[in-house]
Structure 1
Amino acid sequence: MANKESFPLHRCIFRNDVDSLNKNLKDEEIKKLINQKDNHGNTPIHLALMLDRRNCILSLLRNGCDVVSRNVFEWNPLEEATMLGDVDLIEKISKFKFRDYCLYFNKTGSDGTISKLDEWNKHLPYCYYKGQLKFKSKIPLLNKIGLKDVLQFYKNENSMRLDTGIVGFDLHGIPRIIHGSLSIIINRLDNGLSQIYMLDNKAKRYTELFPYIPQTVHDHFVKSRIDVKTLYKFFVDNSDLSIKKKTPSGFGFKSNKKRTIRINNKKYNTDLYKCKNISIVIRKRDNEQPIGDFISDIKTTVADIDKSRNKIHSSLTSELNNMIILDNKNIKGIDMDDIFKEENGDNDSESDSDSDDSDIENNDNDDKSVSSHGSSAEKLIEADNDFKKFIDENLYTLATVESEICDKVVQMIIKGQNEQGNAIEKSDIIYIDQILPTFYEAYLNSKRLSDDDQKKFEEIINTTVNSTKDKFGNKKKENNEYMQNFKKSENVSSMVHNLAENYYNSTSKKHNNTSNKFKNEEIKRVPISEEEYFDPSNTKSLHLGRKMEISEEKRRTKKALKFWLTKENSFPLNINDHLKPVIDFLCSLLYDQINGRLYDSNYDRSIYIKTIEYIFEQVEATKRFPLKFEVPVMASTALQFKLIDVNTDKKCVPDSKFKIPDNYIYDESVEFRFSR
């Protein structure tokens, strides 16, 4: 194709010539280029969104353009539309995106590839899973949320059903889980789409979620995307990823009991594997405004924004983990800085916390960085003297009050000076409370001091720490920024965005300084002609039409993801055959890859494949199956899931499970609730 004729659809968009675009899209050969990337990594829909060519965007959407894939800057069309702020476009793109999700999972590809559902059916046409989901934490606020549920999943070839007892969040006062009985039923249709229903089993009502999407669902989703000032993107750097099988510690029966899990009244011995050394890259895009048909003026702390990530490995838990961990340091006992804090060396001598009823207190050895907290009005005290640095160096030991280190720290406080003879200040005492909020109460309750010292120590704590708290141990000023952001959430999407915004703004001091630096800088309006943009020798990554600021933070954690896997060939299922299609599907959603073709050059996909191959090789995926896993959420907090029952008999998944009961009433108001 001649240079002048290259990228015909892009050229129409560049000129804002919608008539020529529509004419070209009627040509079957040219229409095949509807998702073609130009020399700068932009598809037609990306270019149209950047330049706010609304009529061109609508024409591309009508002709089935890809609304999922990312450009070279890692933004997908919905994210570009969100920053554009066009409500109609956000609604249309989100509908098409969800449609593409269904087609990817259900429909056989034109290139001969089978759907993920058919791939799954080859090895597991029928199955029933029952498992317990448990959120474990030492942090009082998170414990009061009370996340604990039994999940049941049914699959009968082309139909699936999920039953849960969590039906929403109550955001009045301290957030809590709303318990009830909710079901999601998915039935595959002949056209490759799915019919999806949500059932409220207590109220005996149901609604259809897809293909007919209730207006209330639309409104909630679109509302969460309107007036968004900041976008967050999450990547995972697993270049130092390690998978290790934990050697059992302890002796005899107790040690073996921790590794034995009962499934359907049968005991299975398991091996504990730990997945460590994952870094999270958080990219923030904000302070954006349109500047017309000019090269985007990107103020960034990243040297080369489109090549900023290391040669990283990806994992299934990447964005899922990110969604869960987006909390703010204002929760009592938490500072997100410490969650990702880089630790010095591995600690493989930790307690496993792998018994069924074990609490998170037994699981702290993975965390050398114990978290801290502060109110929205307070700045966290920094470790600026020898005493505070001593506390930092012994955080893990201090988590157990019955230790010599704890005794030493308490005696320093009582005497009013450290080992170097320097005075213990009020800020030093508060510092311990910030990073270990239960330390003083636990030590006083342990009665390790003489009566005189106990009385003196209690008086010191009451005058320096407890005077700022109410009778429940919470900061008196409870109406903090975290709670406000949590309560203004309309749905899961807006909750994640609100918490992300609060977390990033409260921890990114470096970025804030950078933002102030850019604040008064004049916008650069660098023009670019059609010839320059489509010049084959110009392969620089380009974003057009916007002024924005972009910054990144890389946070590392060595907290381990834990997996309890069955012994070799002792279980009727294995990871490779019976779970991999689902893992592939979820990762394709997370990395916006569902419209990618197998022969496309895609960096994220190749890294994902290599990572999965590495993990599967380490855990012998063709011989084992996970009966339990534990995901670190934040310091001293974990999300645990354990299988209770597994069955692959067709009799366990009757057709009636995937039908709406006759006595249920259609009601569009059925939804996952956010009560405020």
Structure 2
Amino acid sequence: MAGEAIQEYPMHECVFRGDKKELSRLLRTHDVTQKDKHGNTPLHLAVMLGHNDCVQLLLAHGAPVKSKNALGWTPLAEAISLGDRQTIVTLLRRLKQQSRELLEKRRPALMKALSDLGDFYLELHWDFHSWVPLVSRMLPSDICRIHKRGCCLRMDTTLMDFTDMKWERGDITFLFNGNAKPSNSLTVLDNKMKVYHRIRNQETETEIEDEVDILMSSDIVAAQMPTKNITFTRAQSGWLFKADKTDKVGNFTADYYIVHGLTLESRKRREHLSDEDLRKNKAIMENFTKGYLSENTEPERRPSLPPPDRSDASWEDYINSPPAEAPHLGRPVQNKENTKTFKAMIATSEDFPMTVEALMDMLEVIGPFKQFSKLRTFMQSKLPPGFPIKIEIPVFPTVTAKLTFHEFAWKEDLEESLFETPSDYVEDPTRFPDL
């Protein structure tokens, strides 16, 4: 039986032994995405064991960087734990490339879903509020106005930047054109300065290196919000005589519900962090919850960590161990688990013209992530009747987020010019350096 388990994963064994020549041969006939009994792909093992030649070979054959093992960790997470900077850079760059390729592959279906929706105008109000005065002063709020015509979306917003503990207001427009090439499909306009910038969806070397610095100095986090135990009860109003709460949200009548069983399960790893890193990260979070921000400092490039001691586990030890209980490979893990329970409120309206399915189609066009399939299932099966027109949920102990669909109307007469860059605007690639 043990021998069968060993023979079942020849690519994994090659990686474990660092046999690049045999791995190269097997890649012609075997599935590079295959997971072993611990949920690890060959790329997971190559990263954990520091076999960089195997890492490069697997990536060249399309090994997925986003794949999670049985414990919820990706090859990128394992690379951050190991601390080799060049490996982290390589995996991060390939992750972004694979995400772009997936979007391009799914683009025709996504554009059809967007085109099949009727044209509309949607007004979305969102804000964060807190009972702590200083925190409340720095939290954002905004009214987003969204127009949709064919394969085109326009979003107008007033938020621009965050400086000196307050949000800078402006007049900003995002234009998405599903008929254009991906490199030209998203444009941001500054309507006061009359300039525009095309978002190329391609990071510079400096942006990649900056992101790696953040990854190497922060916790590695895996989080999930289980939907199985979520339930809803009608919210009550009135002092002496209680009644189910119903109220107007914008122009729509909505029923209010309290959400129970909403929990966020998170696991953090910090074996790659120094005591100084932990102290700084703790201070940043404490200052934020009190309404203070740390001063911006020039980023220092993080050096690679010294490699950990080699594991003395053999391939047989590894593959014959119980599922998800493999002998340790790589840097000794420092794991911290946490579960937070949230008390949320939701208001649903059966008067709202858009369906949940249509909303999910639009969200998937904007962000085609596989998490949306789970969210879609939850929205269709779990929610009370009607459209979730208002959602209020705590995001920190002192901060609550509120999202309201305030206005909606189907529109058949939206002008094409709404979705075009005005002819008198000038291109300025430096106007939005963070996009």
- Measured in 2, the distance between the counterparts of 1:125 and 1:135 equals 31
Q: Number of residues paired by the alignment?
A: 413
Q: Does 1:14 align with 2:16?
A: yes
- The answer to whether the Cα contact below 8 Å between 2:246 and 2:253 also exists between their aligned partners in 1 is no
Q: Does 1:564 align with 2:343?
A: no
Which of the two has higher C-alpha Rg? 1
- The answer to whether the Cα contact below 8 Å between 1:135 and 1:639 also exists between their aligned partners in 2 is yes
Report the counterpart of residue 277 of structure 2 in structure 1.
none
Read off the aligned partner of 1:213 and give its amino acid letter.
E
Report the counterpart of residue 261 of structure 1 in structure 2.
249
Q: Does 1:224 align with 2:214?
A: yes
Matches within 5 A, 1:73-152: 73-102=71-100, 104=102, 107-108=105-106, 115-122=109-116, 124-152=117-145
Q: Per the alignment, do residues 101 and 40 of structure 1 end up closer, same or farther by CA in structure 2, a change over 3 Å counting? A: same
Matches within 5 A, 1:485-634: 487=296, 527-535=312-320, 539-542=323-326, 543-557=328-342, 559-560=343-344, 562-567=345-350, 570-575=351-356, 577-581=357-361, 589=369, 611-616=378-383, 619-620=384-385, 624-634=386-396
Provide the aligned C-alpha RMSD in A. Answer: 4.0
Give CA-to-partner distance per residue, 1:217-239, whole Å, 9 cap, x none. Answer: 434433322x3253233233555
- Measured in 1, the distance between the counterparts of 2:240 and 2:225 equals 38
Report the counterpart of residue 241 of structure 1 in structure 2.
230
- Per-residue deviation, 1:149: 1.4
- The answer to whether the Cα contact below 8 Å between 1:126 and 1:156 also exists between their aligned partners in 2 is yes
Report the counterpart of residue 432 of structure 2 in structure 1.
670
- The answer to whether the Cα contact below 8 Å between 2:135 and 2:288 also exists between their aligned partners in 1 is no
- Per-residue deviation, 1:573: 1.5
Read off the aligned partner of 2:119 and give its amino acid letter.
Y
- The answer to whether the Cα contact below 8 Å between 1:185 and 1:198 also exists between their aligned partners in 2 is yes
What's the secondary structure of 1:645's corresponding residue? strand
2:157 aligned to 157, 164, 168, which one?
164
- The answer to whether the Cα contact below 8 Å between 2:187 and 2:198 also exists between their aligned partners in 1 is yes
Matches within 5 A, 1:149-228: 149-170=142-163, 172=164, 175-188=165-178, 195-225=185-215, 227-228=216-217
- Measured in 2, the distance between the counterparts of 1:76 and 1:47 equals 11
More helix by percentage:
1
Q: Does 1:274 align with 2:258?
A: yes
Q: Identity percentage over the alignment?
A: 22
Report the counterpart of residue 395 of structure 1 in structure 2.
none
- Per-residue deviation, 1:545: 1.7
Report the counterpart of residue 357 of structure 1 in structure 2.
none
- Per-residue deviation, 1:73: 1.5
Q: Does 1:640 align with 2:402?
A: yes
What's the secondary structure of 1:651's corresponding residue? coil
What's the secondary structure of 1:35's corresponding residue? coil
TM-score by length of 1: 0.53
- The answer to whether the Cα contact below 8 Å between 1:160 and 1:658 also exists between their aligned partners in 2 is no
Report the counterpart of residue 38 of structure 1 in structure 2.
36
Q: Per the alignment, do residues 669 and 659 of structure 1 end up closer, same or farther by CA in structure 2, a change over 3 Å counting? A: closer
- The answer to whether the Cα contact below 8 Å between 2:287 and 2:293 also exists between their aligned partners in 1 is no
- Per-residue deviation, 1:581: 3.5
What's the secondary structure of 2:332's corresponding residue? strand
Report the counterpart of residue 304 of structure 2 in structure 1.
none
- The answer to whether the Cα contact below 8 Å between 1:282 and 1:552 also exists between their aligned partners in 2 is yes
More strand by percentage:
2
Question: Unaligned stretches of 5+ in structure 2?
Answer: 274-283, 300-307
Q: Per the alignment, do residues 74 and 625 of structure 1 end up closer, same or farther by CA in structure 2, a change over 3 Å counting? A: same
Q: Per the alignment, do residues 243 and 102 of structure 1 end up closer, same or farther by CA in structure 2, a change over 3 Å counting? A: farther
Report the counterpart of residue 298 of structure 1 in structure 2.
none
Report the counterpart of residue 602 of structure 1 in structure 2.
none
What's the secondary structure of 2:78's corresponding residue? helix
- Measured in 1, the distance between the counterparts of 2:322 and 2:397 equals 47
What's the secondary structure of 1:10's corresponding residue? helix
- Per-residue deviation, 1:38: 1.0
- The answer to whether the Cα contact below 8 Å between 2:355 and 2:387 also exists between their aligned partners in 1 is yes
- The answer to whether the Cα contact below 8 Å between 2:246 and 2:254 also exists between their aligned partners in 1 is no
What's the secondary structure of 1:579's corresponding residue? helix
TM-score by length of 2: 0.78
Give CA-to-partner distance per residue, 1:52-93, whole Å, 9 cap, x none. Answer: 222222222222221212111111233223333344443443
